[in-house]
């Protein structure tokens, strides 16, 4: 064999060895894992959606990107974990808008009581007029907005019916940790106390609170229905949920993993996620009654009493929230005009 042939042969062997070594390294490379937190209890639609999201991410990422999920507040209640996401200690999660308001107070305006004429109008305003402004608002706080989901319809719960605003006057109310909630209870003549959602049941049991505004999708699975067995259907608002990720951690993802994550999110549009949660609400109400709980429906006239009392307080709530709330509220107002009187 000539010197040239031997040289070429040696080079080919070296190249082949390098390819094999690189292939072995590639096979040994561990997937990127993202920790996802939610306060949703097991066997609820949110957990079903999360498990499906895990599969979507795995498929889109071809095994290079994984979601490690923690439900039932395993990493802490959402008031704590949403701030851990903002700090990058937890990668991502699904949260109520009330909890996200701890990071961006303006988000609380989505829960203005009796603001939207219908659920369809709210969906239109949020999807078509607030998604980009909310994403920009959260980006300033180090949060990557991934999409909307659903929490449910807000009603009033306690140990007896509360059909009119006069029924809650002077009572101790469990308030969410944002100013729209506390402002609402104050306007109704109740005495608000901010309480984390995981402590509300015990607050009822100890007499710390008498009344709370919540959604049946939390009320029944969490066990709160046992401590506050009467739900009054006031339908104050429809509570949206938000899927978030720490922006620095999102930006660190490779282009391929980022694309895979975005494609996985896009597989399930907000309309689908909302429909799945809303369809579950009526099932839960039926389960509550079957278990011995009580559901009381306000009349249109009674519900109008609540609305008439709270509508004039919206401007004060917006002002009290501060930050960019005036601008967000203007966008909400413009969205309502553009969406028209959508029927639910």
CATH number at residue 161: 3.40.190.170
Q: What number of CA atoms fall less than 13 Å from residue 315's CA on the CB side?
A: 1
DSSP string, 190-209: -EEEE--GGGHHHHHHHTS-
* Residue 22 in domain: no
Structural domain boundaries, residue 146: 31-335
Burial (Cβ within 10 Å: 0-12, 13-18, ≥19) of residue 329: buried
The verdict on residue 72 lying in a domain is: yes
Total H helices, total E strands in the chain: 16, 9
The CA distance from 107 to 324, in Å, is: 10
> Given a cut of 60, is residue 17 above it in pLDDT?
no
In this prediction, residue 344 carries a pLDDT of 55
> Per-residue pLDDT averaged across 237-266, rounded?
97
Torsion, Cα of 119, 123, 124, 129 (10° steps): 130
Domain assignment present for residue 222? The answer is yes
Query: What are the tens digits of pLDDT across the range 64-110?
Result: 999 999 998 899 988 899 999 999 999 999 999 989 999 999 999 99
Q: What share of the chain is helix, strand, coil (3-state, %, to 5)?
A: 55, 20, 25
Find the mean pLDDT for residues 106-127: 95
Q: What is the pLDDT of the chain when averaged over all its residues? A: 90
- Domain-embedded: residue 2: no
Tell me if 6 is assigned to some domain. Answer: no
**Domain-embedded: residue 25:** no
Q: Is residue 291 part of a domain?
A: yes
Asked whether residue 186 carries a pLDDT value surpassing 60, the answer given is yes
- The total number of structural domains in the chain stands at 1
- Identify whether 172 is part of a domain: yes
Task: Say what the pTM is.
Answer: 0.85
Percentage with pLDDT > 70 across the chain: 91
pLDDT of residue 28: 55
């Amino acid at each position: 064999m000539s010197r040239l042939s031997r040289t070429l042969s040696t080079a080919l062997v070296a190249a082949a060895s390098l390819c094999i070594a690189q292939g072995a390294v590639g096979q040994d490379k561990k997937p990127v894992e993202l920790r996802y937190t939610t306060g949703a209890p097991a066997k609820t639609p949110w957990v079903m959606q999360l498990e499906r999201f895990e599969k979507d991410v795995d498929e889109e990422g071809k095994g290079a990107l994984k979601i490690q999920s923690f439900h039932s507040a395993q990493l802490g209640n959402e008031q704590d974990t949403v701030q851990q996401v903002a700090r990058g200690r937890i990668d991502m999660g699904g949260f109520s808008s009330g909890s996200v308001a701890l990071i961006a107070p303006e988000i609380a305006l989505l829960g203005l009581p009796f603001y939207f004429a219908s659920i369809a109008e709210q969906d239109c305003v949020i999807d078509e007029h607030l998604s980009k402004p909310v994403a920009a608002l959260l980006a300033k706080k180090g949060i990557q907005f991934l999409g909307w989901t659903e929490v449910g319809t807000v009603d009033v719960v306690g140990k007896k019916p509360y059909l009119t605003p006069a029924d809650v006057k002077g009572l101790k109310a469990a308030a969410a940790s944002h100013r729209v909630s506390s402002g609402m209870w104050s306007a109704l003549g109740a005495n608000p106390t901010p309480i984390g959602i995981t402590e509300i049941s015990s607050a009822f049991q100890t007499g710390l609170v008498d009344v709370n505004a919540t959604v049946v999708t939390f009320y029944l699975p969490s066990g709160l229905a046992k401590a506050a067995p009467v739900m009054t259907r006031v339908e104050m608002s429809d509570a949206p949920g938000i899927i978030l990720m720490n922006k620095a951690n999102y930006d660190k993802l490779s282009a391929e993993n980022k694309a895979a994550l975005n494609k996985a999110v896009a597989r399930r549009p907000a309309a689908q996620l909302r429909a799945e949660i809303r369809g579950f609400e009526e099932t839960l109400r039926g389960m509550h009654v079957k278990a011995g709980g009580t559901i009381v429906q306000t009349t249109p006239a009674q519900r109008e009493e609540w609305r008439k009392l709270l509508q004039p307080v919206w401007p004060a709530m917006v002002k009290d929230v501060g930050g960019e709330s005036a601008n967000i509220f203007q966008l909400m107002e413009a969205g309502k005009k553009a969406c028209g009187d959508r029927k639910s």
